[in-house]
């Protein structure tokens, strides 16, 4: 299985380097170039890097590793190594797929003569972008895998409520005693409203940290656990890869964001003209940015803030009555 590694831990750094040296020595022999930079690294070098490391573990043994740098708009793959005793078992593919699930454009550089690696990357959707002559007997190839999510806004589907209920019941089973309530939120929860066809589910739980113990169960349902994902006190899960189908936003009961999500939803249900304006804005943005999710999201920001303020005022007046 794929695990997160801590290269700052000396013992783990030693394991990482052991696999790296074995894998890159094999590559050096394949391409006829013995001066590969990964072969010169030490345990200290591994420990001092700020790259994100993941590994493939089986029966307590580390068989392969990968590391990458996370940037705002892309991921840069720094290393991918599978111990020579465990090649041709799909380990490199699993490591790469774990990185691809981050859903950002990925770039990497490999030796042009490393045909097995290039074939693996091409199979995963990478394309060769440029060549760099380093020395007479070493040519590097830069490759990239673009992760542009298509922006799709469709008309309201009556099946969305059924899809929510079906997923709600599955989630309740895996969360168990930690469960308090599951809400259908977002645009797919507002009858008659156009939306991206993604079912947003808000979970209220007793202990947010307890959900971390359920990550393997979420994975079995097809979800990718992303931790807080930028919002303190939240646990976020998404399903469907590039064609996302479900988002789960989980909080402890009483968290401010629970009320924010529910009030936003309820206000749109109670104010059809504002719901219509919001839907029209989304249609316009989807048409203007069909393959630019970031611009689509940024374009919604102003109207979302307007509606959130209106929803807050509405809920306050409703409460005071």
Q: Mean of the pLDDT values across residues 209-223?
A: 92
Q: What is the pLDDT of residues 42-92, one digit of tens each?
A: 999 999 999 999 999 999 899 999 999 998 778 999 999 999 999 989 899
Q: So what's the architecture of 2-145 in CATH?
A: 3-Layer(aba) Sandwich (3.40)
Topology of domain 159-320 in CATH is Beta Polymerase; domain 2 (3.30.460)
Place of tokens 């059924």: 162
Please report the pLDDT score of residue 74 as a whole number: 87
d(CA 26, CA 96) in angstroms, rounded, equals: 20
Q: What is the pLDDT of residues 109-157, one digit of tens each?
A: 999 999 999 999 998 889 888 988 887 778 999 999 877 677 899 999 9
**How far apart, in Å, are the Cα atoms of 193 and each of 145, 189, 279?**
34, 8, 6
DSSP string, 7-24: TTSHHHHHHHHHHHHHHH
pTM of this structure: 0.60
> 69 and 75 in contact (C-beta within 8 Å)?
yes
Give the start-to-end residue ranges of the domains of the chain.
Answer: 2-145, 159-320
d(CA 203, CA 266) in angstroms, rounded, equals: 16
Q: Mean of the pLDDT values across residues 162-168?
A: 98
Please report the pLDDT score of residue 71 as a whole number: 85
Same topology, domains 2-145 and 159-320? Answer is: no
d(CA 317, CA 207) in angstroms, rounded, equals: 31
Place of tokens 């013995």: 34
């Amino acid at each position: 299985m794929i695990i997160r590694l801590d290269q700052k831990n000396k013992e783990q750094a030693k394991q990482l380097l052991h696999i790296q040296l074995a894998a890159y020595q094999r590559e050096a022999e394949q391409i006829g170039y013995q001066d590969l930079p990964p072969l010169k690294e030490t345990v200290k070098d591994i420990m001092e890097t700020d790259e994100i490391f993941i590994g493939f573990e089986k029966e307590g043994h580390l068989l392969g590793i990968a590391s990458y740098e996370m940037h705002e708009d892309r991921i840069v793959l720094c290393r991918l190594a599978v111990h020579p005793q465990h090649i041709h078992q799909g380990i490199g593919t699993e490591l790469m797929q774990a990185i691809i699930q981050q859903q950002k454009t990925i770039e990497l550089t490999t030796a042009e003569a490393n045909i097995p690696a290039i074939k693996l990357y091409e199979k995963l959707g990478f394309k060769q972008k440029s060549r760099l002559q380093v020395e007479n007997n070493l040519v590097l190839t830069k490759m990239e895998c673009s992760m542009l999510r298509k922006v799709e806004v469709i008309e309201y589907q009556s099946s969305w409520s059924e899809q929510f209920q079906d997923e709600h019941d599955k989630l309740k089973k895996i969360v168990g005693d930690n469960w308090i309530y599951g809400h259908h939120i977002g645009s797919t929860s507002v009858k008659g409203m156009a939306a991206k066809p993604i079912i947003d589910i808000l979970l209220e739980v007793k202990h947010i940290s307890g959900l971390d113990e359920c990550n393997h169960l979420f994975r079995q349902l097809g979800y990718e656990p992303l931790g807080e994902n930028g919002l303190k006190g939240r646990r976020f899960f998404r399903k469907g890869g590039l064609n996302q189908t479900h988002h789960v936003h989980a909080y402890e009961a009483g968290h401010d964001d629970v009320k924010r999500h529910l009030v936003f939803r309820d206000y749109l249900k109670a104010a059809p003209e504002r719901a219509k304006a919001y839907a029209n804005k989304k249609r316009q943005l989807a048409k203007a940015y069909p393959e630019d999710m970031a611009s689509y999201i940024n374009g919604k920001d102003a109207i979302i803030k307007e509606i959130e303020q209106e929803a807050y005022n509405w809920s306050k007046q409703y409460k005071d009555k």
